[in-house]
Structure 1
């Protein structure tokens, strides 16, 4: 029976924010972890150092998930270091606010390349070994935006995340016969460096209070809230759970789609 110590995890966009918490949580469970990053080598290497200092196994690998060849090379490096990937967490993603009035085709295309094509590239890169081993856990980090929230300015971002959710269901269907589960975690508004922005503390607290008030739990999320859900789907014990999209959002109430 598979155990956490047998697992090799690849977390894309793992240097900061939600990805950082996911990588740390999987390492704490006992998995070997590859922290993927694009620009923040310092953050990725500091996380790897922390994991190793606590007795874990980790490496950092730079790759743009929108680049198919770079993804293949990254997966090969992980296999050389730890063995074939058994857990893939598709966390890398970008967002741009936009409306019909200020639509930017170039920004939308780059967002699609990362949020949708990136998910395809990584899944294709790990699926051969997962099929051969008859085992795999794939967890896609999408967003409640893809389920249809009323937060203004994220229509095009939401479209890319909805694409990721549909791919989750379809890939689960294709890969299920090989013992591979494919699920998605759809975060609500989570406190990270990105969401906090460069404003002052008072402005952040006001914004967090306003958005938190839209949820049943009355607060915004923390990265560990998402990491906990990912660990559930990634667990060796979650082998009969697939094709699920789990909203981890504190019970947000501003949906427009259902």
Structure 2
């Protein structure tokens, strides 16, 4: 039995990743923070759910103890948990920035560090960090501080690829663009959502918007044997954005 852990796995991209890995035969565990009901829904699919705010190291340590009661090996770790606040640089809000930094970047550090012994035990394990095209270069207004946290995830991915390769652990990142999730369209009317879709369709060379499954499929490939010779890479999944610095198109 191979085990996979997905942080922030109850909703959106994390949920799609967890369900995909579960269907592919991994015994999948997710961390969730506030979405209790959505997490419980996944239990019906055989997914193990554990409450954990990855931005708090003591919670990650506690969750690790719970995981160790299930398995002493972790074959896949997907660091997906994240949040964002739109914040123009001139309106810097330290509290919001600290929260993004704590979850988006520190959460990846805490989770990877605490679960490293289990990843080593698995042999040839794989880590995938969910970054963002914002961390490479986005023109989207108000995303400066969010982008900083995701840029940190990208350099952390590359550094970990250097440091953990000796254990056979591959480390890659996926950098999504605008994906339709609770985070991006939640609480909006259908008319507002359609305006967003049209806006972002016009920002991509493929003239389409992304779904959580588009990211999940890339993660599935990266953790598979098909990607055995790939590490330290950042795969951008954004339809070919024409307003960002993520592509040469």
- Per the TM superposition, whether the score is higher than 0.5 is yes
Q: What does residue 163 of structure 1 align with?
A: 152
User: How far apart are 1:134 and its partner, in Å?
Assistant: 2.9
Q: What does residue 139 of structure 1 align with?
A: 128
Q: Deviations over 1:13-51 (max 9, x none)?
A: 0000000000000000000011210011111110121x2
SS, match of residue 225 in structure 2: coil
Q: What does residue 3 of structure 1 align with?
A: none
> Greater CA deviation, 216-225 or 196-205?
196-205
- Give TM-score, length-normalised by structure 2: 0.95
User: How far apart are 1:199 and its partner, in Å?
Assistant: 2.1
- Give TM-score, length-normalised by structure 1: 0.92
How far, CA to CA, are the matches of 1:38 and 1:257 in structure 2? Answer: 31
Which of residues 120, 125, 130 in structure 1 aligns to 2:119? 130
Q: What does residue 78 of structure 1 align with?
A: 67
Q: How does 1:162-241 map to 2 (within 5 A)?
A: 162-241=151-230
Q: Deviations over 1:229-256 (max 9, x none)?
A: 0101111332221000000111111114
Q: What does residue 238 of structure 2 align with?
A: 249
1:115 matched to 2:96? The reply is no
Q: What does residue 31 of structure 1 align with?
A: 26
How far, CA to CA, are the matches of 2:173 and 2:114 in structure 1? Answer: 18
CA contact (8 A) 1:145 1:161 kept: yes
Alignment length (residue pairs): 247
Which of residues 36, 43, 62 in structure 2 aligns to 1:41? 36
Which of residues 65, 77, 88 in structure 2 aligns to 1:88? 77
Any gaps of 5 or more consecutive residues in structure 1? 1-5, 53-57
SS, match of residue 243 in structure 1: coil
User: How far apart are 1:213 and its partner, in Å?
Assistant: 1.2
Q: What does residue 16 of structure 1 align with?
A: 11
User: How far apart are 1:79 and its partner, in Å?
Assistant: 2.8
The two structures, once aligned, show a CA RMSD in angstroms of 1.3
How far, CA to CA, are the matches of 2:147 and 2:3 in structure 1? Answer: 30
CA contact (8 A) 1:22 1:224 kept: yes
